[in-house]
Amino acid sequence: MDALILTFDQIGIEDVPKVGGKNASLGEMFQKLNPLGVHIPNGFAITATAYRLFIEENNLKEKIQDQLARLDKDNFSNLKQVSDAIKSLILKGKIPDSLVKEIEKHYEKLCKVEKRTVDVAVRSSATAEDLPGASFAGLHESFLNISGNEALVKTVRSCFASLYNARAIKYRHDKGFDKFEIALSVGVQLMVRADLASSGVIFSIDPESGFPNAVLITGCWGLGENIVQGAVIPDEFLVFKPSLEKGKKSIISEKAGSKTKTMIYSKSGGTVNLNTPIEKQKLLVLSDEEVELLAKWAVQIEKHYGLPMDIEWAKDGHSGKLFIVQARPETVHTEKDHFKLKEYSLMEKGDLLTSGYAVGNGITSGKVKVLHSAEEADLLKEGEILLTEITNPDWDPIMEKAAAIITSKGGRTSHAAIVAREMGALAIVGAEDALEVLKNGNEITIDNASGKIGKVYSGQLKWKINEHNFKGMKLPKTAPMFILADPEKAFDLSFFPNQGVGLMRMEFVVTKNIQIHPMALVHFDQLEDHEAKEHIELLCEGYSDKKEYFVDKLSQAVGTIAAAFYPKDVILRMSDFKSNEYANLLGGKQFELSEENPMIGFRGASRYDHENYREGFQLECEAVKRVRNNMGLDNLKVMIPFCRTPEEGKKVLKIMETYGLKRGKKGLEVYVMAEIPSNVILAKEFAKVFDGFSIGSNDLTQLTLGVDRDSEILSELFDENNPAVRWMISEVIKVARKNGKKIGLCGQAPSDKPEFAKFLIDAGIDSISFNPDALLRGIKNMVKAEKKK
């Protein structure tokens, strides 16, 4: 007979039939990765052979089959009754004496090694578990903080019974596993006292987009069950793998979650969920060094298995050490074809009701159905949008009926998020006020197509879907690039055919992510607007230096886009607000002049070395320096807008150098926007100052023709195809090429007008940048133009 128990150092990944996916993975890591410094708690596995011995000695096989034969496989109306009957049979069964002796022997050996009576985690591991395409997330039971022989033996039987949880029976049926003989192994592992510290989940890729170069780490105080259940909104850390490998600052984004609950062990047994003190809610659960260590482990685990991985980590409150307590294949993106993409866009506007973390890319609409427990399943009709606080595996059959799922708690690694991804359903998790603002019967539209934040709008709005298949798509020799503003879309867009980002607009980040005029942060103490001052205090909570708030937020946003397209060029345009737009930022009115014509006023390069904005520009430069030098994202270039004269360009480069950004040092390239007639007329002189040009066709058209681009009455005169504008564009391209400088164009015209794309390519332009919704149309026009050429 095969062994009833195998220790972790006897188990490898090939042993799934003996010990299930979870235990096979733990044994594999304990043997192969523990020696490399990845901490895996020691333990042993009660094998599938032991489970079958238990079933055989208690004569349960036929009784279980009889009960399963009763199951209503159409509507699953008697699922709970069948499940309860089988579990009752197992829980009344007697663990064979031979197995009891083996369990006690191995437990006592663990105690001897640790020189104490140890607490252990006891986890179920089904023999079909954790296979690509089937996560089995939370379907079988886990028991924590078990101590002593008697308690351990009793818990093993409870794990055996959980093979027939209602949710597990249904899941196996849906996945087609009910045709196979499933057995259950039980893992017994040294307990990591995360209840006294923290724990969480790691994905070795971005779980929403499947972007392979990022590691997502989530964490909460206490036991990680709160994250899995979605009971808390956890901290999130995004780590960029190439920066990690270079030894650079690899955390490109971090967000503090509310972490309102902390799950700990109860003295009477079991667990209790306590309110987290407010001060502790504001603290991050991991230091930067701990985040990067976990990310390194995740990369090692992923490389070892050759697959994206879903990993659980825990920190021991006694020793302060980090551990990996579980690892399984990521089940959604493993088999996804990234050449095929669906692009969704809303065609109507509605009132924004609530928002949260978006899970799944798409748009849907329907009526809200509020459910408070899985027992209310019958109330949900096919196609309704399920709204609840949190979900657990008991909700799985219900979630399949819903058009989408909204939870008021939870993060991107919660149970609701994992199951929604696996089902291909849309979900919004952590929409904290959803249960207050949404009521039964409300007609709503869920928009998960515009970034990491999912939005809920009132009414059933219209939307459209464009399906793309990039496989074999012909690309032009002229580089197609993006015009981008929103970092939340960057990972998704990185899968489109492209050669990088020709224009990243800083203004979007300042307006949406930062919201504050940089000079109001530099001179906060002199701010006269008390209301703005209070709002700024709120936004900058947790930052002892308010200037750091600006640098941190901007560097994270820019770093995310630079990482998404690494190592391709990402060209960041330094701020190009007009004075009236700057004035609309928090605290902005005090620092801005009132101008008659802001469009040709105090904007772009003229601000950067002026006393009214010099310190604000320094913050912009600090953010760029952090992305390039600290994060190691040297694919980031910068571009200076609205630079009227070569002399002004030299002044900007000089002040950038004083702030630690020297053109040419560490490969830093600085471009200039060609958007003023003087940029074209003096192009030869500008070419001596800058590394390249980017034609801003909107401003160049406006200033060449003397037509306000925002004027409706003059809209027919605004035309990039006008011979005067074309002459300007072809002239600056000619001078750039003659002087060995790169030149591109950013604008809508090459996607809307094939003849304009042909004109640019015939003129010899290096790159054309498009808004995301126009990229594919633009590429087709470019390919056609090159063919004609």
What is the tens place of the pLDDT at every residue in 401-435? 888 999 999 888 888 888 788 778 899 999 999 99
**Do residues 6 and 15 lie in contact, with contact meaning Cβ atoms separated by under 8 Å?**
yes
- Smallest CA-to-CA distance from 447 within 330, 342, 359 is with 359
- Smallest CA-to-CA distance from 518 within 561, 483, 552 is with 552
pLDDT per position as a tens digit, 664-698: 999 999 999 999 999 999 999 999 999 999 999 98
DSSP of 159-206, one letter per residue? HHHHTT-HHHHHHHHHHTGGGS---EEEEEEEPP-GGGSEEEEEESS-
User: For the chain, what are the domain ranges?
Assistant: 5-191, 195-329, 340-468, 498-639+651-668, 671-789
Residue 334 is predicted with a pLDDT of 62
pLDDT band with cut points at 50, 70 and 90 for residue 705: very high
Residue 129 is predicted with a pLDDT of 47
pLDDT band with cut points at 50, 70 and 90 for residue 134: very low
Domain 195-329 annotated CATH 1.10.287.3510: no
For the full predicted model, state whether its pTM sits above 0.85: yes
**Do residues 499 and 493 lie in contact, with contact meaning Cβ atoms separated by under 8 Å?**
no
Residue 180 is predicted with a pLDDT of 60
Domain 671-789 annotated CATH 3.20.20.60: yes
User: Averaged over 109-115, what is the pLDDT?
Assistant: 91
User: Averaged over 261-268, what is the pLDDT?
Assistant: 87
3-class secondary structure per residue, 772-784: HHHHHHHHHHHHH
Q: Which CATH class is domain 5-191?
A: alpha beta
pLDDT band with cut points at 50, 70 and 90 for residue 103: very high
pLDDT band with cut points at 50, 70 and 90 for residue 77: confident
For residues 533 and 208, which has the higher predicted lDDT (pLDDT)? Answer: 533
Residue 556 is predicted with a pLDDT of 97
pLDDT per position as a tens digit, 166-194: 888 888 887 777 656 788 999 999 999 99
Check pLDDT > 90 for residue 377. Answer: no
Check pLDDT > 60 for residue 130. Answer: no
For the question of residue 111 being annotated catalytic, the response is: no
What is the C-alpha to C-alpha distance for residues 615 and 222, in angstroms, rounded to an integer? 43
What is the C-alpha to C-alpha distance for residues 396 and 415, in angstroms, rounded to an integer? 9
For residues 231 and 334, which has the higher predicted lDDT (pLDDT)? Answer: 231
pLDDT per position as a tens digit, 493-529: 999 999 999 999 999 999 999 999 999 999 999 999 9
What is the C-alpha to C-alpha distance for residues 650 and 644, in angstroms, rounded to an integer? 11
pLDDT band with cut points at 50, 70 and 90 for residue 606: very high
**Do residues 528 and 597 lie in contact, with contact meaning Cβ atoms separated by under 8 Å?**
no
Residue 132 is predicted with a pLDDT of 45
For residues 114 and 737, which has the higher predicted lDDT (pLDDT)? Answer: 737
What is the C-alpha to C-alpha distance for residues 20 and 13, in angstroms, rounded to an integer? 9
Residue 208 is predicted with a pLDDT of 87
pLDDT band with cut points at 50, 70 and 90 for residue 563: very high
For the question of residue 415 being annotated catalytic, the response is: yes
- Smallest CA-to-CA distance from 746 within 484, 510, 474, 475 is with 484
Residue 138 is predicted with a pLDDT of 58
Q: Which of 415, 517, 621, 643 is catalytic?
A: 415
Buried b (16+ CB within 10 A) or exposed e, 541-557: eeeeebbebbbbbbbbb
For residues 528 and 126, which has the higher predicted lDDT (pLDDT)? Answer: 528
Q: What is the mean pLDDT of the chain?
A: 92
Which tokens sit at 4?
């009833």
DSSP 543: -
What is the C-alpha to C-alpha distance for residues 305 and 87, in angstroms, rounded to an integer? 35
- Which residues touch 256 (CB under 8 Å, ≥6 apart)? 235, 282, 283, 284, 542
**Do residues 446 and 425 lie in contact, with contact meaning Cβ atoms separated by under 8 Å?**
no
For residues 353 and 135, which has the higher predicted lDDT (pLDDT)? Answer: 353
Please provide the CATH number assigned to the domain covering 340-468. 3.50.30.10
Angle, nearest 10°, between helix axes 723-738 and 754-763? 30
How far is residue 386 from each of residues 228, 408, 434, measured CA to CA in Å? Answer: 19, 11, 11
pLDDT band with cut points at 50, 70 and 90 for residue 1: low
The letter for the amino acid at 501 is V
Check pLDDT > 90 for residue 335. Answer: no
pLDDT band with cut points at 50, 70 and 90 for residue 128: low
Question: Which position has the token pair 């329907």?
Answer: 366
Alpha carbon 343 to its chain centroid, in Å, reads: 18
**CATH (one of 3.90.420.10, 1.20.1340.10, 3.30.70.260, 3.20.20.60) for 498-639+651-668:** 3.20.20.60
Which tokens sit at 454?
């999912």
What is the C-alpha to C-alpha distance for residues 446 and 453, in angstroms, rounded to an integer? 11
Q: Which of 540, 621, 643, 746 is catalytic?
A: 746
Least confident among 136-150, 272-286, 589-603: 136-150
Q: Do domains 195-329 and 671-789 have the same CATH topology?
A: no
pLDDT band with cut points at 50, 70 and 90 for residue 347: very high
For residues 58 and 412, which has the higher predicted lDDT (pLDDT)? Answer: 58
Check pLDDT > 70 for residue 749. Answer: yes
